[in-house]
């Protein structure tokens, strides 16, 4: 779906739809709005934001306003309104929270966990390949589950991914991940081009929820925090790359971030680690 010149995922479209319906209900409750978007004013939006801040978290308010801005910009492009009243809308700044991630020893412990109870050799090999790809390439779980035969070149170690906004990128995943995939394919068989690389027990591609559940079992077996998600392996990949000297822009390309500022959040984690080491090691710290 296109909205304001962007390709949005089905999940984002669903979230935007809920936000727009919520705003429409608010407008009808606060003034008997008839649904005519051309009559919407900047004052309406400001009042909406002020009231929402009293009952919702800031991130929720930002998400709702993002939906409104995108919809109104799209409506203006189509000639439905002459101008968008959201142009000058000011929102409170969001707190910059650092992402959770696994430390290098924790990651090592997770990847060395071994088989789970009642696992077949093929399922064990597949799950190991899943974890190694998530960490080795910094893949999103949706990108991982969307991999097909031909996307991963075992000779070059490069994987072709379809990321957010239907943006394609090619990134390395590392020799350890390649070895795990080879071990899995030796049991599963080589997939044809276009066939899912990672198969669910009943055939078809793995689902992100299945990856999440598998990870929870692996975390429990390794004695690691249960609230870590597949996305935390992506965070770990970025953080460990930077901590070991990788260039920030190369990490941006690896993760498929549209903006460098998104990747820069990981520098705070490496600087925090450096500060901690400095305090412990420097004689005048």
What tokens does 267 get? 């520098």
Among left, alpha and beta (phi > 0; psi -120 to 50; other), residue 245 is: left
Q: Please state, in angstroms and rounded to a whole number, the distance separating the CA atoms of residues 213 and 127.
A: 11
Closest CA to 140 of 239, 36, 15, 233: 233
Where do the DSSP E strands lie in the chain? 2-3, 6-7, 152-153, 158-162, 168-172
- Tokens 């142009």 label which residue? 87
Q: Please state, in angstroms and rounded to a whole number, the distance separating the CA atoms of residues 12 and 21.
A: 14
What's the angle, vertex CA 271, arms to CA 267 and CA 277, rounded to 5?
150
Give the residue numbers annotated as catalytic, written as ranges.
140, 164, 231, 234, 257, 266
Q: Please state, in angstroms and rounded to a whole number, the distance separating the CA atoms of residues 60 and 30.
A: 20
**Half-sphere exposure of residue 23, counting CA atoms within 13 Å on the CB side?**
29
| Contact yes or no for 16/4 (Cβ under 8 A) | no
């Amino acid at each position: 779906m296109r909205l304001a010149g962007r390709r949005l995922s089905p999940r984002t479209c669903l979230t935007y739809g809920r936000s727009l319906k919520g705003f429409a209900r608010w407008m009808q409750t606060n003034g008997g709005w008839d649904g005519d978007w051309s009559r919407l004013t900047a004052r309406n939006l400001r009042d909406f934001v002020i009231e929402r801040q009293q009952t919702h978290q800031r991130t929720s308010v930002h998400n709702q306003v993002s939906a409104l801005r995108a919809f109104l910009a799209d409506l203006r492009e189509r000639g439905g309104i002459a101008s968008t009243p959201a142009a000058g809308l000011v929102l409170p700044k969001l707190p910059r929270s650092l992402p959770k991630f696994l430390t290098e020893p924790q990651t090592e412990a997770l990847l060395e966990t071994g088989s789970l109870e009642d696992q077949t050799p093929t399922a064990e090999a597949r799950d190991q390949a899943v974890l190694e790809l998530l960490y080795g390439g910094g893949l999103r779980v949706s990108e991982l589950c969307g991999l097909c035969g031909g996307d991963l070149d075992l000779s070059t170690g490069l994987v072709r991914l379809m990321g957010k906004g239907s943006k394609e990128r090619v990134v390395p995943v590392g020799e350890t991940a390649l070895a795990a995939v080879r071990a899995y394919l030796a049991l599963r068989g080589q997939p044809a081009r276009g066939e899912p690389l990672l198969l669910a027990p009943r055939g078809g591609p793995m689902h992100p929820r299945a990856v999440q559940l598998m990870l929870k079992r692996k975390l429990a077996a390794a004695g690691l925090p249960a609230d870590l998600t597949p996305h935390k392996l992506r965070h770990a990949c970025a953080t460990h790359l930077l901590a070991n000297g990788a260039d920030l822009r190369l990490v941006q390309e690896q993760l498929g971030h549209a903006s460098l500022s998104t990747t820069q959040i990981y520098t705070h984690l490496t600087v925090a680690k450096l500060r901690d080491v400095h305090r412990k090691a420097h004689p005048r710290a």
